């Protein structure tokens, strides 16, 4: 039986030999959520850790009844009473293509990302004809390494040390494990 959890992860980013940055990330696992979904949300957050986007994990925003796993807003010069514009909308794990198409229609000036395990995405025939603003990111990680990270999240106050190789790979060190993760931009059927 799946149980709800409040997970607090200390993430230490190693940007170079002399400089690191750290943040505490709090994510709530709902009863119906899998640990894979939680880990993918954290991977999406790590994917953007060097960018200027200020990501909000599990925001309250809704578009056409949908809520993102992560969101970033455009800096606004308009008074704060006006609803901010979505810059990045991020979905993780299972997502219906119809949902992505609806989001693309109603968020035409937003970048939409979908993160899932690479081997799961490659099994599907993904057809997002004409939806070039949707980036599909496959996460390449072994089942063993994924299980290690999932288990680390249910320990008391886990610490993830994160290094990026300059490309699309990151390494997470936690306890006695060093785990390499590769992010792969998946080409859609319309890209071929």
Residue 190 CB neighbours (<10 A): 12
- As a whole number of angstroms, the distance between CA 101 and CA 79 comes to 30
What is residue 83's predicted lDDT score, i.e. its pLDDT? 67
- As a whole number of angstroms, the distance between CA 103 and CA 88 comes to 11
Q: Output the pTM of the full model.
A: 0.88
Structure tokens at 60: 């309250």
Residue in 101, 71, 100, 99 with CA at minimum distance from that of residue 86: 71
Q: For 19-111, where are the alpha helices, taking DSSP H only?
A: 35-47, 97-106
- As a whole number of angstroms, the distance between CA 113 and CA 108 comes to 13
Crossing angle of the two packed helices 35-47 and 143-153, in degrees rounded to 10:
100
Residue in 93, 104, 90, 101 with CA at minimum distance from that of residue 48: 90
CATH class of the region 5-191: alpha beta
In 30-144, which ranges are E strands?
56-57, 70-73, 86-92, 111-117, 134-140
pLDDT per residue rounded down to tens, the chain (192 residues): 466 778 889 999 987 777 788 888 988 888 888 999 999 999 999 999 877 778 999 888 888 889 999 999 887 666 665 667 889 999 999 888 889 889 988 998 899 999 999 888 777 666 666 566 789 899 999 999 999 999 999 876 789 999 988 778 999 998 889 999 999 988 655 554
List of residues 6+ apart from 80 with CB closer than 8 A: none
What is residue 1's predicted lDDT score, i.e. its pLDDT? 40
What is residue 115's predicted lDDT score, i.e. its pLDDT? 95
- As a whole number of angstroms, the distance between CA 128 and CA 190 comes to 6
What is residue 131's predicted lDDT score, i.e. its pLDDT? 64
Q: Is 29 helix (H, G, I), strand (E, B) or coil?
A: strand
What is residue 171's predicted lDDT score, i.e. its pLDDT? 93
Cα-based distances in Å from 11 to 33, 45, 93, 146: 22, 10, 22, 17
């Amino acid at each position: 039986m799946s149980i709800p959890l409040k997970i607090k992860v200390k993430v230490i980013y190693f940007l170079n030999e002399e400089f690191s940055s750290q943040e505490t990330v709090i994510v709530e696992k709902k009863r119906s959520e899998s640990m894979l979904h939680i880990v993918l949300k954290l991977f999406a957050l790590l994917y953007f850790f060097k960018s200027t986007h200020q990501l909000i994990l599990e925001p309250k925003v809704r578009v056409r009844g949908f809520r993102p796993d992560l969101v970033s807003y455009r800096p606004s010069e308009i008074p704060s009473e006006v609803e901010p514009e979505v810059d990045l909308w991020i979905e993780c794990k299972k997502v219906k293509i119809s949902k992505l198409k609806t989001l693309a229609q109603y968020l035409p000036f937003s970048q939409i990302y979908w993160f899932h395990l690479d081997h799961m995405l490659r099994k599907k025939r993904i057809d997002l004809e004409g939806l070039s603003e949707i980036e599909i990111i496959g996460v390449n990680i072994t089942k063993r390494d994924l299980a290690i990270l999932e288990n680390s999240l249910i320990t008391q106050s886990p610490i993830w040390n994160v290094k990026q190789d300059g490309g699309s790979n990151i390494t997470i060190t936690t306890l006695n494990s060093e785990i390499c993760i590769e992010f792969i931009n998946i080409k859609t059927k319309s890209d071929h």
